[in-house]
Amino acid sequence: MQTLFVELGDRRYPIFIGSQLNPEQLLAPYVQGKQVMVVTNDTVAPLYLQHYRQALENLGKDVAVCILPDGEKYKNIEHLNLIFDALLGAGFNRDCTVLALGGGVIGDMAGFAAASFQRGVYFVQVPTTLLSQVDSSVGGKTGINHPLGKNMIGAFKQPEVVLADMAQLKTLPPRELSAGLAEVIKYALLGDLNFLLWLEQHIEQLLTGDEQLLAEAVYRSCAHKARIVASDEKEQGDRALLNLGHTFGHAIESYLGYGVWLHGEAVATGMVMAADLSWRMGWISLDDLTRTKQILQRAGLPIVCPQIPLDEFLGFMAHDKKVLNGQFRLVLLKQLGQACITREFDVEKMKQAILANQQGA
């Protein structure tokens, strides 16, 4: 097992990364209060709920469970209210802990509920997908989607602890594993060329579910995110670098309907658009653009966007959280392994990059 800490000034929390982790031992110092609400979904519950419920009961906790339907399309206000219904129905007080057992959707919704219930209760993350282990479980961003924009309603809520167990990835469908690798590749493209070289050497082995290599990929990804979050917890500056490909990708998700494409699939295509625009701006070479496409393709990810009318695509981009005063701020590549946040780009070239990477274009 490896341990990372997210440092947040006067507070910090650990990320435990390994295989066959012992939840009773690792959660004991961090699960606060007597009452614990486990929020999970109907896919994860049959696999892992009993294991964690037993561990919590062994710690003397009173455990209640809220099981939500599985899928991005349920990440909305109606299903968020089911968590509040469960908390209130079970008579939970403000000294309780909400534990998220699932992927990014469950983590985001449970975290938002923990941030909101009685104005804030304790929160624990047990991410069960690769994407949530390397990205959404770390850093405290929580929230729900709105028909006009992804993750537009939410709050910052840091967990007390994160448990990332590689053994749980054995039950992950191949498509979900690939979607998680999109976020892993993102960290390499935006800030770590050596990590990109490592991924190019090992991408096929990662797709086989090699637990040792997956643990290394999760550790390096979380270490990168932890450094950025430590310097910019509320995304006032450099934390926005972590959104490489996301402004384009969120537009794809919003247009198609949440869950039609997985988040990682949309981000992968968005990163291709960002790299394409970076090439059109003369910042990276055509070989760099090709290299970006190749590593994403090798990870089993789409690199071509569905056909979306340009005005609608731009309309969804305009609802992105990184738009300020009507101006797009994009995360682009100065070179492979070095990203920047900028308004200084040619809008016409941005449109060309979008159109060039659509089906049938």
Domain boundaries, the chain: 2-171, 174-356
Q: Residue 263 has what pLDDT? A: 93
Annotation marks residue 250 as catalytic? yes
Specify the CATH number of the domain 174-356.
1.20.1090.10
The yes-or-no answer on residue 216 being catalytic is no
Choosing from 72, 160, 176, 183, which is the catalytic residue?
183
Verify whether residue 225 is a known catalytic residue.
Answer: yes
- Give 16-25 pLDDT, tens digit per residue: 999 999 999 9
Is residue 204 annotated as a catalytic residue, yes or no? no
pLDDT above 90 as % of the chain: 85
41, 145, 151, 243: which is the annotated catalytic residue? 243
Q: What pLDDT, on the 0 to 100 scale, is given for residue 318?
A: 86
Residues 6 or more apart whose CB falls under 8 angstroms from that of 88 comprise none
Please classify residue 38 by burial: count the beta carbons closer than 10 Å to its beta carbon, then call 0-12 exposed, 13-18 middle and 19+ buried.
buried
> Considering 75, 250, 280, 329, which one is annotated as catalytic?
250
d(CA 336, CA 310): 27
Residue 240 is predicted with a pLDDT of 85
Point out the catalytic residue in the list 186, 246, 293, 329.
246
Residue whose pair of structure tokens reads 């670098």 in the numeric block? 241
Q: State yes or no: is 51 an active-site residue.
A: no
Catalytic residue among 75, 263, 321, 329: 263
Options 75, 225, 280, 322, the catalytic residue:
225
**pLDDT at 244 > cutoff 90:** yes
pLDDT attached to residue 272: 98
Which 8-state DSSP code applies to residue 86? Answer: H
Return the bridge partners of 340, or none.
Answer: 332
Instruction: Identify the pLDDT of residue 320.
Output: 67
Burial 174-208 (b: 16+ CB within 10 A, else e): eebbbbbbbbbbbbbbbbbeebbebbeeebeebbe
Cα–Cα dist 284/212, whole Å: 33
Catalytic residue among 239, 293, 321, 322: 239
pLDDT for 328 equals 81
pLDDT tens digits, one per residue of 298-339: 999 999 999 999 999 999 898 765 665 567 889 999 999 999
- Active-site annotation holds for 322: no
How much is the average pLDDT of 170-196?
A: 96
- Cα separation, 175 vs 229, whole angstroms: 28
- Which whole number is the average pLDDT over 43-55? 98
The confidence band for 276, taking pLDDT boundaries of 50, 70 and 90, is very high
Q: What value does the mean pLDDT take over residues 141-170? A: 93
Q: What pLDDT is attached to residue 325?
A: 56
pLDDT digits (tens, 9 = 90+) for 77-120: 999 999 999 999 999 999 999 999 999 999 999 999 999 999 99
Please tell me the least confidently modeled range out of 1-10, 48-57, 264-273: 1-10
* Average pLDDT over all residues of the chain: 94
The conformation of residue 358, written as its DSSP 8-state character, comes to B
Tell me the three state secondary structure of residue 312: helix
Catalytic annotation, pick one of 78, 119, 344, 348: 119
Cα 245 to Cα 40, 191, 236, 278, 339: the distances in Å are 28, 14, 18, 12, 11
Per-residue pLDDT, 329: 86
pLDDT-based confidence at residue 205 (cuts at 50, 70, 90): very high
Distance, CA of 227 to CA of 229 (rounded, Å): 6
Active-site residue, 119 included: yes
Of residues 72, 176, 216, 235, which has the active-site annotation? 235
In angstroms, the CA 307 to CA 7 distance is 43
Fold designation for 2-171 = Rossmann fold (3.40.50)
Q: Which of 44-53, 116-125, 251-260, 266-275 has the lowest mean pLDDT?
A: 251-260
The residue from 53, 141, 157, 220 that is catalytic is 141
Q: Which amino acid is at 53?
A: R
Is-catalytic flag, 239? yes
The pLDDT of residue 326 is 61
- C-alpha 246/C-alpha 322 separation (Å) is 10
Q: Is the pLDDT of residue 359 over 80?
A: no
Q: What is the DSSP string of 221-235?
A: HHHHHHHHHHH-TT-
